[in-house]
Amino acid sequence: MVRKVRRRREDFAAKTAHTLATGFEMVVFEALKTKNMTTGVKPKPDPERPGAFLPNGAAAKAGLNRSILDKGWYRIELATRGKARYTGTQVITVNPAYTSQTCNVCKVVDRKSRESQAVFRCTSCRHSEHADVNAAKNVLTAGRAEFARSGPGVRAGARKPRNRVGRKANRSATAAQTTATAASGLAGIPRL
Ligand SMILES: [Zn+2]
């Protein structure tokens, strides 16, 4: 069963990487929070009873889910980088800070604009859309800026320019939303 799940995950990563690397000129990933990938959930010592541990169920589960998700994304990122060497697709990693709290229209950063897991509604200009889509646009903007900074040396590496730009949304989404976002990301944004 575990093997089956792992194989399906590898399949998904390979297929996603193929679609990204063959269909897009640029793919932007948020930098992984390495800590989440490498540290397990720490048991909580019970101060009353030395050597015993308090249950930390909810936090433990959240941390674990987060770590599983990050591993999935990392797999996709690695696979995409591997394929991109042959297609010339630019794979760019950007700092994920504030991508989910920034309005992609007016650029105002406000934690309160993230109304819920799914809804982004800018407290400044009232722009509203799916939180993952808003975050993905910010990631793409950051990726384009990074690409512009990286200079002609990097660009010369692109052998077969593509006419679409890939994007990826906030990694903190739930598994279902992550899949949906990856799928919608594949639709891409027409190149400006
Ligand atoms: Zn706004």
Q: What are the residues whose beta carbons fall under 8 Å from the beta carbon of 30, sequence distance 6 or more?
A: 93, 94, 95, 96, 99, 139, 168, 170, 171
Closest CA to 70 of 14, 97, 30: 30
Q: Look at residue 32 in the predicted model and tell me its pLDDT.
A: 75
User: Which of 16-30, 47-61, 150-164: highest mean pLDDT?
Assistant: 16-30
Overall average pLDDT of the 155-184 stretch: 39
Q: Find the distance separating the first CA and the last CA of the chain, reported in whole Å.
A: 45
How far, in Å, CA of 126 to CA of 145, rounded? Answer: 25
Overall average pLDDT of the 86-95 stretch: 94
Q: Look at residue 77 in the predicted model and tell me its pLDDT.
A: 93
Structure tokens at 138: 């910010």
- What is the CA(107)–ligand 1 centre distance, in A? 6
pLDDT band of residue 164 (cuts 50, 70, 90) is very low
pTM (predicted TM-score): 0.63
- What is the CA(180)–ligand 1 centre distance, in A? 24
- What is the CA(129)–ligand 1 centre distance, in A? 11
Q: What range defines the domain where residue 56 resides?
A: 2-95+153-190
- What is the CA(172)–ligand 1 centre distance, in A? 21
Structure tokens at 64: 């674990």
- What is the CA(50)–ligand 1 centre distance, in A? 51
pLDDT band of residue 65 (cuts 50, 70, 90) is low
Closest CA to 88 of 2, 160, 162, 149: 160
Residue 64 lies in a domain: yes
Question: How does pLDDT run across 95-133, given as a tens digit for each residue?
Answer: 989 999 999 999 999 999 999 999 999 999 999 999 999
Residue 175 lies in a domain: yes
Q: What are the residues whose beta carbons fall under 8 Å from the beta carbon of 97, sequence distance 6 or more?
A: none
- What is the CA(144)–ligand 1 centre distance, in A? 20
How far, in Å, CA of 162 to CA of 111, rounded? Answer: 35
Looking at residue 120, the DSSP 8-state letter turns out to be E
- What is the CA(114)–ligand 1 centre distance, in A? 11
Residue 18 lies in a domain: yes
Q: Look at residue 145 in the predicted model and tell me its pLDDT.
A: 93
Residue 111 lies in a domain: no
- What is the CA(121)–ligand 1 centre distance, in A? 8
- What is the CA(133)–ligand 1 centre distance, in A? 14
- What is the CA(187)–ligand 1 centre distance, in A? 24
- What is the CA(7)–ligand 1 centre distance, in A? 42
Total domains in the chain come to 1
